[in-house]
Amino acid sequence: MLPLHRTTSSTTFGARGPTINPRARGVHAFDGDDAKGMKKRPITPTQIALFVTSNWKQLSAVFSFGVLLFVLRRLSNSGGDAGGAAVPVANVVTTSVPVAIVAESPSPLAPVVAGPPKLEGPKLKEKASKEKIIDASKNSPKQQIPPGGAVVPPAKPVQPQPKPENKVTPAADAEVSLDLSAFDDSRSLPMNPSEFLKIKVATLASNKELTPALRKKVWDARAQAVTRSFAHAWDGYVKYAWESDELKPNSKTGNSWLNMGITILDALDTALVMKNQTIFAKAAKWVLDGGLAMDANVNANVFETTIRVIGGLLSAHHLAENGPEKDGLLKQAVRVADKFMPAFTSSQSGIPYNSINLKDGKATTSDAFFSSTSEATTVQLELKFLSHLTGDPKYWNAAQKVSQVLFQSPSDKTAKYDGLVPIYIDPKTGNFNGLEFRLGSRADSYYEYLAKQYLLTNETEPFFLAQYRTALHKGIKKHLLMRSQPSNLMYIREHLGALGPGGRKEEKFDHLVCYFPGTLALTATKGKRVPSDPLERAKILTGQEMEELYMAEELAQSCFEMYHQTASGLAPEIVFWKPAKDAVSAAKELERTWARFETSAPKDNSVKLPIALETVKKVRDGDIMLDFDIHTNDKHNLLRPEAVESFFVLYRITGDEKYREWGWNIFRSFEQWSKVATGGYTSLNDVNTIPPPARDKMESFFLGETLKYFYLLFSDDAILPLDQYVFNTECHPFPIFQVSDELKKQVAWMQ
């Protein structure tokens, strides 16, 4: 037999186990015991088999040790980039905010990732990395800290000794830097959805191990990122669409449909909230220098003008410091309101016509001579606040006349619909037209303004709260509230035809409906913070209020899934839910759950957890499965604010950090896919295509609502507190006010 020898010692065994010589080239056969000087020749398969058979124990040990070395090497390198593809850094903005955190949540509710997600079907599955702390003493000052690591100040040398495995809380004076690779002006849409706008050392501010001061600094840094986005959107508008209603960022031009420069007016108070005096000064100067000409021969929509133009002017007037700008903005609001009064005074019924010709001031209507119900009933906050500021009752009375027609002329027209309203109303007769019921387009803000009229006047008009709760508990719960399959998510469907079993139901859910969780939570709590523990909540809220807040949280989850379950991380305009087989039980479930809480607050400590919180099963251990379909014509995203609006309200009321994380994920997706390098943000045509095709339109509400709600969600609760302010449907904040005795004598009052 020819013995086998190695040409060089490729493997040796010692006290530390086998070591591998990387220079060893192979195994050869030699004649005789002395290999020196012998000619090498290849071994045969038989010889290899004999060698393996006789040496299998040694070979097994070598293989096992090699695997162990490989694993140890990978573990030692795990503090680096967690598998993420590198993205060229166009500009790195280091904030002056001292922060250093690394903590990433494995929860699908707040997937903040360091590596690139895999695209699986219509969803992006993201893998979160674990928290890692890196000793700064082992890194040179110029060394870049990987995304998975956090820097702590170097400690003095100490003698090694056993220590308990307690995680280190990062110091509150460490520093955080925002890697804004998504802001690369060389490309309009960065391609890696996991790498844009990542915080190099701070990823999850809601980590429970962080100190409150440190968590606040992270969220302040994120709020500042929103201010930069606002400036970027504004710069694009100024550069390419100044005085137009909105920007078309991809084609670098403007578009007008209201002919009032509404992006300027929607952005006025956003600039004040974000403390951007430069943008505010430019916008206010345009308004005060005659930019609002209102002399074009076009029909301007009464509703849009009221919520955007009058609302924006009134809010900016309130927030502005004393001076000529403050007074001038109020005068402009009065001027616009007077221009549009004929829409109310020309109506035979008191229901306003939907348009005014800016040139001749004549009122007109469309939609086969019918007005949209939501448009006719969403002017009350603005006109009542204007009367409060000026002392002139005509604006209040014009708005209140609409309510009188609906509820008192001669009787409540909504009663036969269980408090719901059809989506069209005839301004000539004041009667509803058709039998379409929904909380989306043409009906949405009707329900919102019922609740907010009650809140704005400091709860002095309980009539509106009663109407709101009738619609909610008799109409919405009975006819529209549903659960999905397989995840048992709550949603609100549409109803076509007569209410009841004979009508046609449609599982259609507009993104617009995502305003409703915020309205539910706001009305249930009057804007005040409540405990996170349901048992503690039950001591201060009635059973009805508990139920409304529960509905708000459930519907907010459904709205988040509209974002979480798409490839881009952005929601489509419309989804069609898959109803659970026993979906009719949604309202009954709520009734059973909260019946025990119907006694007056405060509650005693013997109260048990709600049934729903104990028994409702949801498929939420991993990623939610798709509970809805997205039709071809509904895949677009218009940069809408409604979901973020509700997350903002729910965070302020519950203190649950998940709503902030949801908002942060959505903000990052807008930065990833909608930001245009030359200025502005674009709407998108298909949220399930990567990259999503641009739709080339930046609505004014992106500056007036979406970015403002992001900023407020990430900012301190002391900014515009919800128990002191009410936001109109365009996110223009009005202070809650007490109606003066003098004004009360001159205005119509709903009893």
CA–CA distance, 442 with 436 (Å, rounded to integer) = 10
The confidence score (pLDDT) of residue 397 equals: 98
The confidence score (pLDDT) of residue 443 equals: 97
691: region left, alpha or beta (phi > 0 left; psi from -120 to 50 alpha): beta
Alpha helices, DSSP H, located in 377-443: 380-390, 394-408
Q: How distant is the alpha carbon of residue 354 from its chain centre?
A: 31
Nearest to 178 by CA among 151, 194, 197, 195: 197
CATH number, domain 216-744, options 1.50.10.10, 3.90.1150.10, 3.30.420.40, 3.40.50.300 = 1.50.10.10
The confidence score (pLDDT) of residue 686 equals: 98
> Which tokens sit at 257?
């449909």
Residues 513 and 640: beta-carbon distance below 8 Å = no
198: region left, alpha or beta (phi > 0 left; psi from -120 to 50 alpha): beta
What's the mean per-residue pLDDT of the chain?
A: 78
To the question of pTM greater than 0.75 for the whole model, the response is no
CA–CA distance, 174 with 214 (Å, rounded to integer) = 9
Would you tell me how many other CB atoms lie within 10 Å of the CB of residue 289? 9
95 labeled part of a ligand binding site? no
Residues classed as catalytic: 304, 444, 573, 642
Nearest to 2 by CA among 37, 46, 56: 46
Residues 698 and 249: beta-carbon distance below 8 Å = yes
The confidence score (pLDDT) of residue 501 equals: 80
The confidence score (pLDDT) of residue 201 equals: 31
Interaxial angle between packed helices 324-340 and 311-319, expressed in degrees from 0 to 180 and rounded to the nearest 10 = 160
Question: At residue 187, what is the residue type?
Answer: R
Distances from the Cα of 295 to the Cα of 291, 344, 361, 388, 505, angstroms: 11, 20, 9, 28, 45
> Which tokens sit at 433?
């037209």
DSSP-derived 3-state class of residue 711: helix
Strands (E), 343-437: 355-357, 363-364, 371-372, 424-425, 432-433, 436-437
Structural domain spans, the chain: 4-76, 79-154+166-210, 216-744
495-530 pLDDT tens trace: 999 898 878 999 999 999 999 999 999 999 999 999
The confidence score (pLDDT) of residue 462 equals: 97
Strands 150-152 and 133-135 turn out to be parallel
Which backbone phi and psi does 132 adopt, to 5 degrees?
-135, 140
Which residue shows structure tokens 């309101």?
Answer: 337
Strands (E), 598-663: 628-629
The confidence score (pLDDT) of residue 211 equals: 86
Would you tell me how many other CB atoms lie within 10 Å of the CB of residue 500? 10
Quick one: 111 exposed, middle or buried, by C-beta within 10 A (0-12, 13-18, 19+)? Answer: buried
Residues 513 and 441: beta-carbon distance below 8 Å = no
Residues 534 and 613: beta-carbon distance below 8 Å = yes
Distances from the Cα of 64 to the Cα of 60, 276, 547, angstroms: 6, 63, 59
| Residue-by-residue DSSP string for 304-324 | HIIIIIIHHHHHHHHHSPSSH
Nearest to 128 by CA among 93, 96, 103: 103
Which residue shows structure tokens 């990567």?
Answer: 690
The confidence score (pLDDT) of residue 734 equals: 99
Nearest to 475 by CA among 449, 453, 493, 459: 493
Residues 110 and 658: beta-carbon distance below 8 Å = yes
CA–CA distance, 215 with 174 (Å, rounded to integer) = 12
> Which tokens sit at 575?
């989804």
> Which tokens sit at 271?
């600039």
Low-confidence ranges of the chain (pLDDT < 70): 1-209, 366-368, 582-625
Would you tell me how many other CB atoms lie within 10 Å of the CB of residue 138? 9
Which backbone phi and psi does 651 adopt, to 5 degrees?
-65, -45
Q: How close are the terminal C-alpha atoms of the chain, in Å?
A: 111
The confidence score (pLDDT) of residue 140 equals: 38
Question: At residue 361, what is the residue type?
Answer: G
Q: How distant is the alpha carbon of residue 526 from its chain centre?
A: 22
Q: CA 91, 92, 93: angle at the middle one, nearest 5?
A: 115
